[in-house]
């Protein structure tokens, strides 16, 4: 169950409203790096959590925080739309200068919401819940969460660098700090569970004896002329999971060219395909 007190987690103020920045902020609401994604992701992970229930609670707790971040950002969008132009001046289309503010505005901020936020990204594309990663595997989910917070902080930093409004910078400095924490938080779960060397390869409950171990730790090359692909930590030394040693070799095809044979009668193919 969830509760609210109607208040903002952190103050949101805008000194100079800017519809173009409202459009940019949408990426942090409805973008794949945004807050709807993390709020829903942590909740769906919690609702399907199996094993120690403390992770369920931790996820729900942070999921509730992220809901409040959507709220902050939606408020920021609305405030940036204050004074946005609602109509076109007649001279606009004659004059290449006119219309510049509307050009940078997400027109749906006027047409669809009456100057408020939408659950869309900076291009106006609605958020699609297929981006909620909740695999039922806690380690895979933790990596997904580090990723979400990493791309989320990259985004917040880019927004911070883009704006010159002190209120917006203050809000983003707060959100960036929370992303710092959350990156560390999910990485801390991985550490608590034993770190990459114990968690990898994910899922670690599958006996590696059943995989084709000839191919488990070799970086394969797919260069046209068989030239050696670039060396690095991934070609030499112990593997990160500690279960093998990296090596390097060009790949040769182990299979033949497939031939599916002629098409079946009544399968809607052309006659030439059926004859084979």
Report the site for a copy of itself in 29-58 (rule: CB under 8 A): 30-33, 36, 40, 43-44, 47-58
Taking the C-alpha atoms of residue 90 and residue 98, their distance in angstroms, rounded to an integer, is 9
DSSP state string for 57-126: HHHHHHHHHHHHHHHHHHHHHHHHTTT---S--GGGGTSSSTTHHHHTS-THHHHTTSSS--SB-TTSPB
The minimum distance between CB 25 and a copy of itself, in angstroms, equals 10
CA 211, 215, 216, 222 dihedral sign is: negative
Among positions 96-125, residues that touch a copy of itself (CB under 8 A) are: 96-104, 106-108, 110-125
The minimum distance between CB 240 and a copy of itself, in angstroms, equals 4
Among positions 231-250, residues that touch a copy of itself (CB under 8 A) are: 232-234, 239-241, 244, 246
The minimum distance between CB 223 and a copy of itself, in angstroms, equals 6
Nearer to a copy of itself by C-beta: 38 or 90?
A: 90
| Cis ω for the linkage preceding 201 (within 30 of 0) | yes
Tokens of 28: 């942090």
Taking the C-alpha atoms of residue 248 and residue 229, their distance in angstroms, rounded to an integer, is 8
Among positions 125-144, residues that touch a copy of itself (CB under 8 A) are: 125-140, 143-144
List the one residue out of 199, 176, 177, 175 whose CA is nearest residue 187. 199
The minimum distance between CB 276 and a copy of itself, in angstroms, equals 6
Give the one residue of 35, 38, 42, 163 binding a copy of itself; rule: CB under 8 A: 163
Report yes or no: 55 and 139 within 8 Å, Cβ to Cβ.
Answer: no
Among positions 53-82, residues that touch a copy of itself (CB under 8 A) are: 53-58, 60-65, 67-68, 70-72, 74-75, 78-79
Regarding 146 and contact with a copy of itself (CB under 8 A), the answer is yes
């Amino acid at each position: 169950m969830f509760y609210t007190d109607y208040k903002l987690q952190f103050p949101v103020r805008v000194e100079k409203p800017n519809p173009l920045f409202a459009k940019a902020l949408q990426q942090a609401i409805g973008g794949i790096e945004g807050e709807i994604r993390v709020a829903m992701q942590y909740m769906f992970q919690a609702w399907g959590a199996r094993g120690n229930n403390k992770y369920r609670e931790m996820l729900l707790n942070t999921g509730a925080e992220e809901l409040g971040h959507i709220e902050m950002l939606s408020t920021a969008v609305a405030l940036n739309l204050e004074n946005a132009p609602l109509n076109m001046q007649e001279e606009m289309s004659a004059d290449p200068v006119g219309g510049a503010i509307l050009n940078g505005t997400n027109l749906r901020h006027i047409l669809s919401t009456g100057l408020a936020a939408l659950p869309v990204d900076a291009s106006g594309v609605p958020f699609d819940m297929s981006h909620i990663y909740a695999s039922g595997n806690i380690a895979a989910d933790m990596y997904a969460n580090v990723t979400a917070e990493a791309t989320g902080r990259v985004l917040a930093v880019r927004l911070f660098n883009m704006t010159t409004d002190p209120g917006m910078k203050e809000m983003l400095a707060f959100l960036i700090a929370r992303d710092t924490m959350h990156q560390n938080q999910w990485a801390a779960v991985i550490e608590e569970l034993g770190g990459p060397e114990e968690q990898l390869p994910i899922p670690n409950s599958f006996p590696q004896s059943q995989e084709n171990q000839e191919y488990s730790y070799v970086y394969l090359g797919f260069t046209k002329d068989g030239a050696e692909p670039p060396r690095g930590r991934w070609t030499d030394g112990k593997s990160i999971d500690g279960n093998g040693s990296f090596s390097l070799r060009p790949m040769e095809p182990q299979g033949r060219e497939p031939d599916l044979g002629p098409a079946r009668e009544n399968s809607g193919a052309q006659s030439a395909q059926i004859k084979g």
